[in-house]
Amino acid sequence: MAKIIVYHKPTCTTSRKVIKALTEKGVDFEKVNYYETPFTKTKLNDLLKRMKKKPSDILRKKDKIYKELDFKNKKYTEKQILDLMIKHPDLIERPIVQKGAKVILARPPETVNEII
C-alpha cells in the first residue's frame, strides 16, 4: 500500500487539522514541511498534474505576498505563477496530500478522507 505524504506548513490551521485527523485514525503518513524541504519546480508541477490543476487553481489569495505581487492587476502566466510559488511558498494552498499517484488539496480538511 502506498504511503501517504502530507506537504504542509506547521503553522497552518488546516494542515494541523489534517495531520491530527490522520493521527487519530492511526494512519501511517509522512509529513513534509515544504518550508524546510522546498518544492522543486518539477515536483510541484508533478503534484499539480496529478491533481489535474493549474498553478492558479491552488494559489493562496489571502496571503500578504499575493497582494504585494499585485495579482489582481497583473496578468501572470501559469508558468510565472509556478515560478512565484517556488520562490514564495506562502502562495501555495495547503496541505497537499499524496498517496501513490493520487494527490489532493485537503481543503476543507475533511477531504483527506478521500485519500485514506
Sheet with 102-105: list strands edge to edge.
29-33, 4-8, 96-99, 102-105
Q: Is pLDDT at 13 greater than 80 in this prediction?
A: yes
Res. 2 pLDDT band, cuts 50 70 90: confident
Q: Which pTM does this prediction carry?
A: 0.95
97 forms bridges with which residues in the sheet? 6, 104
At which residue does the C-alpha cell 501513490 appear?
100
Cβ atoms of residues 44 and 17 within 8 Å: no
> Catalytic residue among 1, 7, 9, 12, which?
12
The string of pLDDT tens digits covering residues 25-74 is 999 999 999 999 999 999 999 999 999 999 999 999 999 999 999 999 99
pLDDT value of position 6 = 98
12 counts as catalytic: yes
Relative to beta strand 4-8, strand 102-105 is: unpaired
The string of pLDDT tens digits covering residues 79-116 is 999 999 999 999 999 999 999 999 999 999 999 999 98
CA atoms of 14 and 94, how far apart (whole Å): 7
The CATH fold assigned to 4-114 is: Glutaredoxin (3.40.30)
